[in-house]
Amino acid sequence: MEKIRTFIAIKLTPEILSNISKLQEELKKTSAQVKWVKPENIHLTLKFLGHITLEKLEKVKTFTREALRPFAPFEISVSGLGAFPRIEYPRVIWVGIDEGKEELKRIAFSIEENLAKISFTKEKRPFSPHLTLGRMKSLKGRERLIEALAKLMTSNLGNMKVTKLSIMKSELRPPGPVYTTLEEIVLQEL
């Protein structure tokens, strides 16, 4: 039985992706050993579902639609540069969400609760809305990267109105992942 690797996400506007690309170019000047995510592949993941059957995908669509029923379109602002586990020891470099963060947490919680009804495991860690820009491959250039992160920490990369969420298919290929939209769920004005 065919299984597809899937996740639920919010796609970003071309303007925000362009600003992310410029920010990555600035960080690349540090020559740090980072595997950068291609800007066109950056999205705001709300729930990773793993490999699921097409039959389960239909249930995911239904239960996600149900989870989103109480939510209307809302604004988010993409700003604030950081790193996991912390800026002094960056492993994953990310940009945060400022405005709209609480709404995103409520949506992620609603999706989490609803998909648990169809046997998806709940996340152990609390949802932290962020966009992954890159992952450190080695310690080479780390000091320069930390300095650049500190300087660019307050970068504002733009605002957008979230009007829909996407259920995405992820195919891992040698040149990098390929994402395909399987379903879009539009947030209704309340």
Domains in the chain and their CATH numbers? 3-186 (3.90.1140.10)
Active site residue 51: no
Q: Is 43 a catalytic residue?
A: yes
pLDDT for the residue 1: 82
pLDDT at position 90 is 93
How far is it, in rounded angstroms, from Cα 11 to Cα 50?
Answer: 19
Q: What is the token pair recorded at 43?
A: 């999205």
Summarised one tens digit per residue, pLDDT across range 40-94 is: 999 999 999 999 999 999 999 999 999 999 999 999 999 999 999 998 999 999 9
pLDDT in tens, 92-101: 999 999 999 9
Structure tokens at 44: 């705001």
CA distance linking residue 190 with residue 167, whole number of Å? 22
Question: Which member of 10, 12, 93, 130 is catalytic?
Answer: 130
Can you tell me the distance from the alpha carbon of 84 to that of 86, in angstroms, rounded to the nearest whole number?
A: 5
Would you say 114 and 67 are in contact if contact means Cβ atoms under 8 Å apart? Answer: yes
pLDDT at residue 183 tops 90: yes
| Size (the chain), residues | 190
Out of 12, 17, 23, 43, pick the active-site residue: 43
pLDDT per residue as tens digits for the range 23-52? 999 999 999 999 999 999 999 999 999 999
Residue 118 has pLDDT above 90, yes or no: yes
